Amino acid sequence: MKKTIFILSVALVFLLIIWVVVRMHRADTVTHGDYQASTRDEKTTIYDIDDLEGQVAQIIPVGGFDYIRGGAQTENTMRRNESAFDMVDIYPRVMSGVDNPDTRTQILGIDISMPIIAAPAAAHGLAHVSAEAGSARGVAAAGTIMSVSTYASSTLAEVAGAGNGAPQWFQLYLSKDDVANRALVKSAENQGYRAIILTVDAPIGGNRVRDARNNFKFPLDLPNVPRSGGQGIGAIFAAAKNDLTPFDIMRVKSWTDLPIIVKGIQHPDDAEVAIAAGADAIWVSNHGGRQLDGAPAAFDVLPEIAKRVNKRVPIIFDSGIRRGQHVFKAIASGADVVAIGRPVIYGLALGGWRGVESVFEYLKTDLQRVMWLAGAQTVEEIKDIELRPRCMTAQCVEM
């Protein structure tokens, strides 16, 4: 009898330990129905941005993580977005007299602490309960620009309030309803957003195999999209305007006095068309490798687009930025500022708004280090630096 009581006591203690461990794990999550998003609120120690992906995979559900992390089809273009930066090198420069490089710059009349802004990305609520409002607070603390997607899981008012006056841009996916489109633009204008980003590279969704395998549907509503909860991204894209033309740029410009940034440019001719239609800035991006698999890396097309634009309008660049050297190389190749998407959401999941701030602080410090070693005192000086094409099998790759 005593032996039985002892065994039962041990079993109860063991079950209690398991219960405590599970409760401690779930303390970092919050439930949207059956979906659990992080509630962490802490500064995040970052040694390398690449480390964050694996850490986030441990704390949010697989469907949400794969949606955030995944690319189109084989994900080859997504991988090339990062590896393309390795095809050019930065000349180290010595005795340049550089001291404490200045990362401050300006874009569309907005002063920012670094040439790095937040790219628009859908459904930050998959990562953290504070969603885009949390991201906006972290971006504001870092002294740069927050871009908010039509497919955000926070309202425009919530994001604007969290930014507390910091500069924000609104990214517009045109729907088939122009009345609703115009209302969104006017709402953003009334909330104090400083520019409209018109995304033109997503008339339909890319073949996102991870989402299909997971049968992923948004577990939370996207306030700007009617009946979005329970839908997949493919269905949401299908409800958008699928036959975009340059006249859509003109139409959006007629609704507002805010600058119009055309996002998703991957060919010099399209940059030319966008500028002719009234674009106030060009955003070079392949949607983080989430649309057309088999497309070039975004960085590979940046120099030729920048050459065609020829400084007529500013150029924003995204897709694959993970390090200070990537920021440096993009600016030296024609970008005025760069944008980051997944790293922002990873920081949000790992530490809430403080995690987002940590991501920007890491990249700013890393960029400053590269500037110091490459002999660039200011961001403007980076633009005058020539990169060295890397040679392969005795043949140099031309950029």
Give the active site residues: 287
158/133 Cα distance (integer angstroms): 6
357/365 Cα distance (integer angstroms): 12
**Secondary structure (3-state) at 111:** strand
Which candidate, 205, 76, 191, 195, places its Cα nearest to that of 151? Answer: 205
- The first and second tokens of residue 393, run together, are 């099998």
Distance in angstroms between the alpha carbons of the first and the last residue of the chain:
81
- The first and second tokens of residue 117, run together, are 């802004």
286/318 Cα distance (integer angstroms): 8
Give me the helices (H) in 191-228, please: 209-214
196/258 Cα distance (integer angstroms): 7
Which candidate, 357, 306, 359, 362, places its Cα nearest to that of 331? Answer: 306
**Secondary structure (3-state) at 132:** helix
Could you identify the residue written with the tokens 């410090």?
Answer: 365
